[in-house]
Amino acid sequence: MNHTSHPDQAGCTEHGAGEAAPSRAYPAFEAAAPATRTGRRGRGPDWRVSVGTLTGALGLVVAAHLVARSLVGDGVRLYLGRAAWPLFGHYAPRLDLWLVPALLVAVAAVVGGPWVVARLPWRALLTMTAVAAAGWAVSLGVAGGGVDALAAPLTSRHDYLHDVDRVTDLGAYLRTFTDYIVDRPRWTTHVSGHPPGALGIFVLLDRAGLAGAGWAAVLCITGGAAAAPAVLATVKLLAGEEYARRAALFVTFAPTALWVATSADAFFAGVAAWGIYAVAAGTAQPGRRGYARALGGGLLLGCCLLLSYGLTLLGPLALAVVLLQRQVPLRRRLVVLAVGAGAVVALLAGMAAAGFWWFEGLELTAQRVRTGSGWLARPAWYFLFANAAAVVIAVGPATVVGLARAVQDVVRRVGDGRPLAGGRPLVVAAMVLLAMTIATASGLSKGEVERIYLPFSMWLLPLAAFHAAGVRGWVAAQCGVAIAVETALDLGW
């Protein structure tokens, strides 16, 4: 990171998500990178951190695969019989012309990405980020078998669209939703595993005349791509614009895009990201407009609780983006938290009045999960490290090494007695890792977390901005991992 100025002095309170950057173009990323201690032959110690971290990450993935192979050999049924452990998928190597779009997007990101990110005004950069994230996800999705492959994951008998026709009256749907989580006629797997908002969004799409898997795929991909500018706008508030710009390519072109096209969790990620940004922006913006943003953010986060029970774990992250803005008086931060929390409670209370009691839904869903074949067949201890291995693949090598370098930077600063000016993205990442750890420890997420954890893992991607040099190489590594996974596996999402 560039430590020439404290993040509090980087225009965090003056410039929101939609405001233009200063007129000057930003320098090459290497010029804005953190200074490193020089070792032999002019190299600093960062290369040892990179090699060691990548070796450890690769070892974790290999160990997860080998242990899974051993378990399956002993008769354990992991991942519904799929064999691409620790990811959910089958081996299906393929090379065809549908891979060309992904290769072209990757080349454009590596060659032209740094130039574009350094020169676009901030508002234009956020727009470009959303467009590029959608293009990257779609290009990877069609590599799995053409345009039809984008909507195919949503046509499964286990997915939400299967039950859309069962909902004939939205009021009755809310009042009776919990009746069919455990008892028959049961909702399909994904519907019963989530609050009613998850199916409800596709029902509303259908009622609006946008029926079918194609429109549902558009919704999911758009939501997932929209998460990228929201994450970057939040990072700008916490760590300054230069850091957010350096993170832009890594947030946009990550292996997480493999599950943006196409899964409903991508849409959840977009709602969650904009909810968190709105709360963060409400903290930074003075006056009633700030409180209005906080209220809107709270409502979006409340919607998250109606989309997925697991998104409750976004609480620590939302708390962090408010409390980390130390340039804002503590009283205002506490009021913003109260406004956001009040909006969440009000929304859940409204749903309870309409007939859906959130806590009953959570209890029945946990009951169904714990009596299902997935819970009974899959050993919980395996996923304590297999989930982490899946997340490592999803966020890519640049993020994993960025995390190690962020920790290294904090350790150096503590050792040298310097202020932790650049530690805020690391605190955000710590909240995300805490949420993932709690989710894994609960036993309610045994596998498929590369998709399920999308609303969380996207917040790890900005850590890649801690790289001191070689940005193009790291972006190429991110794109390369995504393309390699897409061409080797049939992920089924």
Residue 14 belongs to some domain of the structure: no
Residue 117 belongs to some domain of the structure: yes
DSSP 121: -
SS3 263: coil
Backbone φ and ψ for 37, nearest 5 degrees, come out as -75, 130
Task: Burial-class residue 415 by CB neighbours within 10 Å (0-12, 13-18, 19+).
Answer: exposed
Residue 20 belongs to some domain of the structure: no
Residue 11 belongs to some domain of the structure: no
Spatial neighbors of 158 by CB under 8 A, at least 6 apart, are 188, 189, 190
Among all chains, which residue has been given the structure tokens 């990178």? 33
Residue 259 belongs to some domain of the structure: yes
CA distances from 300 to 20, 126, 191, 229, 369 (A): 25, 20, 20, 16, 27
Q: Residue 308: which domain range?
A: 27-490
Residue 9 belongs to some domain of the structure: no
Give the chain's residues under pLDDT 50.
Answer: 1-44
In this predicted structure, what is the pLDDT of residue 422?
60
Residues 415, 416, 420, CA angle at the centre, nearest 5°?
A: 85
Q: How many domains does the chain have?
A: 1
Of the candidates 404, 198, 206, 428, the one whose C-alpha atom is nearest the C-alpha of residue 317 is 428
Residue 134 belongs to some domain of the structure: yes
| 266 close to 454: Cβ distance less than 8 angstroms | yes
In this predicted structure, what is the pLDDT of residue 11?
36
How many CB atoms are closer than 10 A to CB 390? 26
| 431 close to 280: Cβ distance less than 8 angstroms | no
Residue 104 belongs to some domain of the structure: yes
Burial 171-208 (b: 16+ CB within 10 A, else e): eebbeebbebbeeeeebbbbbbbbbbbbbbbbbebbee
In this predicted structure, what is the pLDDT of residue 418?
67
In this predicted structure, what is the pLDDT of residue 421?
55
